[in-house]
Structure formats: structure tokens, C-alpha cells
Structure 1
């Protein structure tokens, strides 16, 4: 097959490209230029978006012995990922930009261009596994290394995208990938992993949003209210600086009566009110989802598990589907679940699909 290997400049994508070539495919390396001004995104060798990363990807392609190109997708990335990130926070929601990038950029814009150019598939360094099911559909499963598993951020991929995807690292753990990179002579073998949002240069999401949103923010400040007493216990300069479940950085002027920490329970972007309260009030046992994306056949009901954060644990759940609405009853309650996040649904290790969290219901509250 003719394969485009998406090369970020990190160790995972370099080894994935090398494995694809070793498997006999005709591989071309492609680095995605996602920043209109690379200096405005994260600096340093962190695995995404910088000039250094582009150079690292090019050197890796030279060692592997494959052609290499840079595709400029900065305008599409800004519109579909960065603008979406700002809009979601301005609306009081908490988005996952990596998941959106996979949906809109790596497995949509890149795949569309690759297919138009006559390629058959896109290979990436994501940790996930693909298998052909008994019904002939392509199934996506968790990686062997559950600690590195990235199926959560791939839960937006549909069947057509999965049929044209390759994840060569799904059967390997990260230490083995680094050892393999070193054995192959790839200079990125010891390059640090990327953890922060690639377009927030210093990791300060609130500061970045404050600068970028400007007058687009629905408010520039408001009250922080205690859910237990109804008392105003602080103030803030913008709801986009908060997310459900947050404990640090609240700067509350009035301590809780029991002396325990308080957490963000609710965000109301129009009035600017941020509600805080005790940790036990974070627990939810029902999640309402919208905008579902299914990896295969649309289910009516799934008795399985859901993952509600990129690095969160699985929760046993009963999922029912009616059109574009997904109802998730959590048998294991979850804490700090924010609208805008993704709920990824699993049947064992297989990814069934995902939905965007629209609302939650606290434990003990009726329908």
C-alpha cells in the first residue's frame, strides 16, 4: 500500500513510519505545519508544532529512507481546533483539542488529501490497535500498553476513516519503542513526550484564553458562590479560567466552614457565576451526550464502560442511544465531569464510539 506517515517530530511517529516501511509499504513522511507562526506556539523539542519538530521529523525520514514533505494545514487547524477551543471555553465548556485535531485534521484533512493523491492509508504513532471483526468491519481496540493507550482521543473516528488508518505501535509499550528508535539510529529516541496543548506555548491555558478571547468572552468577571451557603466567597476575571472539578487557583476570600477544600461545581458564562462546593458534590451518575461519532454500526444499547477523560479510568456504564442523543448511566459514579469533554464508549477493549458531554446529573438527584 501507499502510505502517508504523519511525522510529528517525536519518537512514536518516527518508529511508526519505520515499521510501516519495514512491513513493505510505500511510505512517504509528512510533517503537518499547524501554526501560522511557529514561534507563537510551544517552543522547544516537545513533539509537535515547532520548527525544531519539523527538523526532527525530516532527519528521521532521512534515516528511515523515505521521501519527506511538509503540509501546511495551519488555516484549517486554526479554524477547526484553535477557534473551537476558544469558543468552547467562552461557552463554559471544557474541550479536548487533541481529540478535535484527530477528528478534523489528522483523519479528515490529511486523510482526504492523501486519498486524493493516490495514497491508501495514513499511519500515525498513536497507541491503539485495529482488527477486522467477524462482520468485516474494522474495530479499534485499546493498545497493549494501557498506560499509553490513546484510543480515547481516537474515539471520534468513523468506519471509513478506520479503514484508511494504521497504528503500528498498538502492540508495543513505550520503553520498547524508545529502544527500537535507538537501535534504528533515530536521534529522537530520547526526546521527551508532549503533554501540554500544542498551541499554548507556556501551558497557561487561562492566561492564553484571556489574551486571545478579549472582547469575545461573554463576561470579564463575576462572583464565585458557595453552593452550600449561597454566599459570595470570591471573584474572578473570566469564567474561561475555570473547569469543573478544579481545586487550585480559586483564590477564595472566605474559607469553608469545615476547613476542607472547595471545588468548581458549575460555570455560568452569561452571568459570570462560578459555583464551588465540597468534593462529594462533584460526583455524577448520569451523563447526557450529543454529537455522537460511531466507529462502526450504531448501537441501541451498550453494557460496557466509558472513559470520560484522556487519562481517566473506565467507569462501568449502561449506554442507550436514540438518534443524536446518548444517555449514559454510570454504575461507577465519576467526579469532575465537565460539559464539552468526550465520553468514549467501550465494549471490552473495543471502542464503540464517542459523544460530547452536554450535561451531567449529580448523584442523588432525580431525573
Structure 2
């Protein structure tokens, strides 16, 4: 129970369905004030109090579990190291993989519980082969199957998503009917461990002199011309347009975007939006929700490359721990470190971390 409306209603529904429910709030920082301030639905003292009040209204036991060490090692350190290497990680996906459905689930099973229930918007079904399948939520605008694509079959078998068949407005109305004070609480959007939402400033502080000494050139992709200087490659992501601080416009008057980040050379390369287009990528460290595929193709195969991003028709080839994806619909601004989540229709097949992206060069 994060302290937000979704997890509160999920707990209420689970209890109403006859499950023996215990509310758990995760303390992810030993100093909550060092994480995001304000009642935003995650990681603050206010959120812990909101979760406790919701549990009291529902009438279930409530505990706070200290997961700060696991969170720091599995999520925060991963975020730091990925940015330092010029990649763009997804900390919410990593939190699901390392914390909510690993550390929490393991502790819950050891204590005699059967499953972890969360307020994520996704659906679970039993397939014809007897395996548990994860599908997109009914509310596609709130669907969170992308950040759950790292879950294995064993984890899915011990998971519950009570909100998968609902829309967000329905959940808020239900919370109000149930007397839950979080009914109108805003959703959280920023990274929970970045207090003010300033990722670059936070990375400056955490990476210290190592980051501040990484200033270098901003280069033009087409000409190799030095267009300006930057204060650290960690302040940029692939596809970024704002904050480049380039002194003069492009020859065609169009905006420039970040195309490449090289921490070793200390360079950031920029170019046109069309230069961002990719139609192939490779993935590593795959995690499969069920049977490991070897080849996925056909009209129902799609991939999603960002949380709440568009679906792209694709052809996928799997060889051991390597995943090759051919995009039949091109994508723009995709960065190594992000996740590619593979679907067949509404079913999640699995996920991999993007290692490289490429563009087919026309003859």
C-alpha cells in the first residue's frame, strides 16, 4: 500500500473478495525527507500515514517493512550506474523486478502468505497450457503491463492485480464510496527518490566530482561541428530536445535532438528528428512471463518501448540471452537501457533491456 488511491482500492477489493489481507507499506529510504516531498503517492511519511488510514478504514492489519537497503542496491545504484554509462534506465520497472515481486514476495511467502496484490493496472488469466498469462488492462490509458513485463511465471502465479478490469475514474469513485480519504489524491509521476524532480541536479550530487568532470563537446551529427559545451553527459537522454543550450540554430531552422551520448569521450551528438528514427534493436537479459519463445512474428506481435508509449508491430528472434527485434513500424528517440516489452495481442510475452538500436540504411 503506497498511500495512493490505486493500492487502497486494490486492498479493499481483495478483502471484500474473502482474502485474508494484510496491508504493507514499503519504507524505501532511511530518511524519507531525502526522497520526494509532499503527498504524491509514494515514498514519503505522508504517504505512509495515508496508507495506514486506508488500512484502518478497510479493517485490515497494517505494517511498514523496511526495504531501504534492497531498494538502494537494486534500484538507486542501478539508476546511477546506468546514467553514468550513458544509458537511460527505468527505475519503476527495476523496482517491480527487484523489490515488489522479489524481495517483498519472497518475504511474504516465507511468512505464509500466498500472493502479493498491488494497485497496478493489468490482468491475469490462465491460458490453455495452464500457465498464468498477463494481459493489458481494460483501461489502456492506465495500463501498466509494460513495467510488469519483467515478472516470471512463478511470480505471476503469486500475484494479484484487482484493478485490471477497471478505469481510473471508476477506482476514484469507488474509493469515495468506501470512505477512503485518498480518493482524490494526485497520481505520482516523477521518480520517487529524486526529491524535486530535477534528475540532472540529483545525479550531479550523487555522482559528485566524477560527474562534474565529465563536461565536453556537443557535436553536430551531420558535420561533426562543435556546437557547444555541456556540464556532464548524465544530464542528457536520447531524444531530448530542450535544455541543449546550443548557441545557433540548425541550417534548416528545425530543432535538434540528442542522438548519441558517449561518457568515455565526453561527447553528446545532436541531429534532426529524422536522425532519431530506428527500425531495429537488440535486447539483453530477457525475462519471460511463460514459455521462452524462439521466433515471434505475425500481425499480433508488437513491442512497447516506453511506459504508456505506442505499440510497434515487430518480428522478434530469440537466441539464448539475445533478443533481436525488427520494427515494422519505426520508432523515434529510443535509448539503450530502456526496456522492450513484447506482446502477442494483449498478452505480455516478456521483456528485455535494450542494448543497441539501429537504422536500416537505404541503398
In structure 2, the partner of 1:52 is 46
Distance 1:312 1:91 in 2: 24
In structure 2, the partner of 1:342 is 339
Q: Deviations over 1:263-309 (max 9, x none)?
A: 00000010111000011010000010000000000000112000000
In structure 2, the partner of 1:292 is 286
Q: Counterparts in 2 of 1:127-146, with a 5 A limit?
A: 127-146=121-140
Distance 1:217 1:342 in 2: 25
CA distance 1:116–1:190, change in 2 (3 Å): same
Distance 1:263 1:58 in 2: 45
In structure 2, the partner of 1:362 is 359
Distance 1:100 1:282 in 2: 26
In structure 2, the partner of 1:3 is none
How many residue pairs align between the two structures? 360
In structure 1, the partner of 2:265 is 271
In structure 1, the partner of 2:176 is 182
Gap runs ≥5 in structure 2: none
In structure 1, the partner of 2:62 is 68
- Of 220, 231, 234, the match for 2:228: 234
- Of 33, 39, 52, the match for 1:39: 33
In structure 1, the partner of 2:312 is 315
In structure 2, the partner of 1:213 is 207
Distance 1:92 1:218 in 2: 14
Displacement, 1:229? 1.2
1:107 aligned onto 2:101: yes
Is the CA contact (8 Å cut-off) linking 1:42 and 1:50 kept in structure 2?
A: yes
Q: Deviations over 1:13-56 (max 9, x none)?
A: 00000000001000000000001210010011100000000000
Is the CA contact (8 Å cut-off) linking 2:204 and 2:212 kept in structure 1?
A: no
In structure 1, the partner of 2:296 is 302
Distance 1:310 1:185 in 2: 31
In structure 2, the partner of 1:4 is none
Matched residue of 1:187: which SS? coil
In structure 1, the partner of 2:87 is 93
Is the CA contact (8 Å cut-off) linking 2:237 and 2:261 kept in structure 1?
A: yes
Matched residue of 1:27: which SS? coil
Displacement, 1:363? 3.9
Q: Deviations over 1:181-202 (max 9, x none)?
A: 0000000000000000000111
- Of 192, 196, 209, the match for 2:190: 196
Matched residue of 1:329: which SS? strand
1:324 aligned onto 2:321: yes
Displacement, 1:365? 6.4
Would you identify which runs of 4 or more consecutive aligned residues in structure 1 move more than 4 Å?
none
Displacement, 1:93? 0.1
Distance 2:120 2:362 in 1: 39
In structure 1, the partner of 2:350 is 353
Displacement, 1:103? 0.2
Gap runs ≥5 in structure 1: 1-6
Is the CA contact (8 Å cut-off) linking 1:14 and 1:57 kept in structure 2?
A: yes
In structure 1, the partner of 2:6 is 12
Matched residue of 2:63: which SS? strand
Distance 1:36 1:209 in 2: 19
Distance 1:82 1:365 in 2: 41
Displacement, 1:255? 1.8
Displacement, 1:179? 0.2
Matched residue of 2:22: which SS? strand
Distance 2:26 2:48 in 1: 8
Q: Which deviates more, 303-312 or 251-260?
A: 251-260
Is the CA contact (8 Å cut-off) linking 1:20 and 1:27 kept in structure 2?
A: yes
Q: Which deviates more, 70-79 or 216-225?
A: 216-225
Distance 1:25 1:312 in 2: 34
